[in-house]
Amino acid sequence: MHSNPVLMFPTHYLGNFILGLPWVLRVAKEYPELTLVIDARFRTLTDTVIPSSVNIIEYPRQRLKEPGSIWSRLSLYLGFLRKLRSASSDCLIDMEGERFSGVLSRLSGAKQRYGPTGKNAHRFYNNPRTLDYEKHRYNAFGEILEVLVADKAPSNILPYCLPPHAEHATDEFLQRCSISSRFVVIHPGASADYKKWPVEYFVSLITMFKRQGLEIVMIGVGDDKRMIDAIADQLDDSNLFHFDLTGYPELVALFKRAHFYVGGDSGPMHLAASTGLDLVALFGPSKEAIWAPLGKNSRLLRGTKACGKDCDAWQCKFNYHCLTSLIPEIVFGAATATRVAIDMRDPAFENEIKETNL
């Protein structure tokens, strides 16, 4: 047993954060006063699910990137380190093992430091652990935390307790858009182009949904917004509602009210799965054995054409037709639970994943 361990988890990837949170909650049951280090951008989301007894330290990644003097950034960084060292635990576990988090682990002062092997792990941890990254990332988080908990895996469905203002803001959005019936949430964007389903396919799919009397709510910011605008330009006679609330609690509230979700491999996809929302994930080169959405309400689809053996996220001589050969009719059928001529394969990782109550 360790006294109030520190979990180093300052990832800036929403998907990774969501996949690791069930394990953080599992550790919190055993160690209610543990310290959790997170990226500051996820604090509002963390507050909806992590018990108040947990000591949360925010890593100020975005503020460290903002313009300003080197001295102001150094002061900010040193302030963070003081908080980390004040946690004074005998055990720190780096859940992902990025180089910067390895450095933070070494600077923490913890006597026992655990982290994944690789990336000069011997410089950062005195207890490096070899993880199986060919299985689902959810499992990898479980493996690194076996030092603290090693029993039945937790559910991927997170017990969100949303603040009233988030619930109210989401309801106001739906009322403002006069959405009172079933609606579909669609996220057309992704962190990389190879994960993005074609704009014209989304146009066709939305047209099919509208014919079924379903309203459409689009989500996405930044580059995603450009895709949303491109889709809207081709749907002049259809109302498309863009969810303009950017907070994570508000997004969770939207998912809890939606009929189902459609989108590619992305952080919002994993966030939707964590609410239990019925969803269809559109996958191309991404490895479903590692990144498929979890839960019985999640379905993963690929196209009918396989890519070459040398194809990957960075290059594909077939222009990623493993994704583009996934036609809108198949997605529509899967999303509306029509099983005619649809390969509703179970996720490739299902037999690999630990016994769980998903």
Confidence of residue 152 (pLDDT cuts 50, 70, 90): confident
Residue % of the chain over a pLDDT of 70: 88
What was the pLDDT predicted at 151?
Answer: 78
Residue 317 φ then ψ, to 5°: -70, -10
Q: Could you tell me if 6 and 110 are in contact, meaning their C-beta atoms sit under 8 angstroms apart?
A: yes
Q: What is the pLDDT of residues 14-59, one digit of tens each?
A: 999 999 999 999 999 999 999 999 999 999 999 999 999 999 999 9
Which residues, 6+ apart, have CB-to-CB distance to 162 below 8 Å?
48, 249, 252, 253
Question: What are the structure tokens assigned to 292, written together?
Answer: 């498929």
For the chain, give every residue range classified as CATH 3.40.50.2000: 6-147, 164-335
By CB neighbour count within 10 A (0-12 exposed, 13-18 middle, 19+ buried), where does 314 fall? exposed
Percent of residues, the chain, with pLDDT higher than 90: 69
Using 50, 70 and 90 to split pLDDT, how confident is the model at 166?
Answer: very high
What pLDDT does residue 305 have? 67
Strand partners, 116: 129
Among candidate residues 349, 193, 171, 156, the one with its CA nearest the CA of residue 269: 156
User: What is the SS3 assignment for 158?
Assistant: coil
Instruction: Tell me the mean pLDDT in the region 287-302.
Output: 91
- Give the model's pLDDT for residue 259: 93
Per-residue confidence at 294, pLDDT binned at 50, 70, 90?
very high
Residue 1: the pLDDT is 54
Which stretch of 93-102, 148-157, 161-170, 317-326 has the lowest confidence by average pLDDT? 317-326
Which pLDDT score, from 0 to 100, does residue 353 have? 42
Which residues are CB-contacts of 52 (< 8 A; sequence separation ≥ 6)?
A: none
- Pick one of 3.40.50.300, 3.40.50.2000, 3.40.50.1370, 3.20.20.70 as the CATH number of 6-147: 3.40.50.2000
What was the pLDDT predicted at 349?
37
List, for residues 304-333, the tens digit of each pLDDT value: 766 666 666 556 655 666 787 889 999 999
- pLDDT at residue 2, as a whole number: 65
Tokens of 274: 């964590």
Q: What is the mean pLDDT of residues 221-238?
A: 88
Q: What would the pLDDT profile of 266-276 be if each residue is shown by its tens digit?
A: 999 999 999 99
Give the pLDDT confidence score for residue 317 in this predicted structure.
56
Query: What is residue 357's predicted lDDT score, i.e. its pLDDT?
Result: 38
Does residue 303 carry a pLDDT above 80?
no
- Structure tokens, 41: 């951008």
How is residue 239 written in tokens? 């109302």
Q: Is the pTM of this model over 0.85?
A: yes
- Looking at the chain, the number of H-run helices and the number of E-run strands are 15, 12
Under a CB-based contact definition with an 8 Å cutoff, are residues 251 and 243 in contact? Answer: yes
| Neighbour-count burial for 139-175, b at 16+ CB within 10 Å, e otherwise | bbbbbbbebbbeeebbbbbbebebeeebbebbeebbe
Distance of CA 163 to the CA centre of its chain: 20
- Could you count the other beta carbons within 10 Å of the beta carbon of residue 108? 22
- Split at pLDDT 50, 70, 90, the class of 240 is confident
Cβ count within 10 A of residue 329: 15
Fold for domain 164-335? Answer: Rossmann fold (3.40.50)
Paired with 185 in beta bridges are 217, 261
Whether residue 342 is predicted with pLDDT greater than 80 in this model: the reply is: no
- Listed in sequence order, the residues at least 6 apart from 81 whose beta carbon sits closer than 8 Å to its beta carbon are 104, 107
Burial class from Cβ neighbours inside 10 Å (0-12, 13-18, 19+) for residue 185 reads buried
- Mean pLDDT (the chain) is 88
Tokens of 126: 């005195």
Question: What per-residue confidence (pLDDT) applies to 320?
Answer: 62
